[in-house]
Amino acid sequence: MSWNREELSVRLPANGGDVSAVLDRPSSPDALLVLGHGAGAGMHHPFMEGVTTHLIDRGLAVLRYQFPYMERGGRRPDRPEIAMEAVVSAVERARALEGLPLFAGGKSFGGRMTSRAAAEGRLTGLRGLVFLGFPLHPSGRPGTGRATHLADVPCPMLFLQGTRDRLADLELLGPVVDGVGERATLHGVEGADHGFHVLKRSGRNDEGVLEELADAVANWTAAS
């Protein structure tokens, strides 16, 4: 499927600066997903590029954006207040661009900052949130403290989690999702780690995982 790519910027009112963004749009999109990157890599990371390509093939437009620290070339993620401002600004930029059903989320850190902004009532008019590896807890330190705000998220949520994800013990995440109720859906990706990589001996490959992720997101957004 052919698509158009447009380089954009997102204004951060409180900081008085801009961050980079890119909009990938198929010819006749069904919805628009605003997607934040993970803590360790920006919006052009191969995973972000790969999942975007597969989502476009399934009729979704995708707006990716940088968090301020990544725009500056830094390694330490922004404080939540700054990161959430970037999320809100990116969603508003997307809302002004397209008259499409609007979803938001991200990879790991990007998804968690999106859910926190939604829980605080700063994101309105969204059909739902999509988490590509929700970071439920630090590696080796299982817990559910990072999920307490999810009860305050007003829209549906889709959790896409690898069964080998060391930042989200599924025995902990499952009850969290169940506790949220019908607004939350958990899709386990067999054999995938937090970066959605799979072991060769599994008989699967990373490309197949990307296809599974894109199918799950496209089916869920179509039904939301």
pTM confidence score: 0.95
**Residue 9 confidence (pLDDT) above 70:** yes
The number of helix segments (H) and strand segments (E) in the chain equals: 6, 8
**Residue 16 confidence (pLDDT) above 80:** no
CATH topology of domain 3-223: Rossmann fold (3.40.50)
The CA distance from 100 to 94, in Å, is 9
pLDDT value of position 142: 95
Give the number of C-alpha atoms closer than 13 A to the C-alpha of residue 75, restricted to the C-beta side.
0
pLDDT value of position 15: 66
Q: Which tokens go with 110?
A: 């990007």
Which secondary structure element, helix H or strand E, spans residue 51, and what is its range?
Answer: helix 46-57
177-223: pLDDT as tens digits: 999 999 999 999 999 999 999 999 988 999 999 999 999 999 999 99
Instruction: Locate the domains of the chain by residue range.
Output: 3-223
The CA distance from 165 to 173, in Å, is 11
pLDDT value of position 146: 97
Q: Which amino acid is it at 44?
A: H
Cα-to-chain-centroid distance, residue 30? 18
Q: Are 65 and 113 in contact (CB under 8 A)?
A: no
Give the number of C-alpha atoms closer than 13 A to the C-alpha of residue 179, restricted to the C-beta side.
13
43-69: pLDDT as tens digits: 999 999 999 999 999 999 999 999 999
Q: Which amino acid is it at 64?
A: R
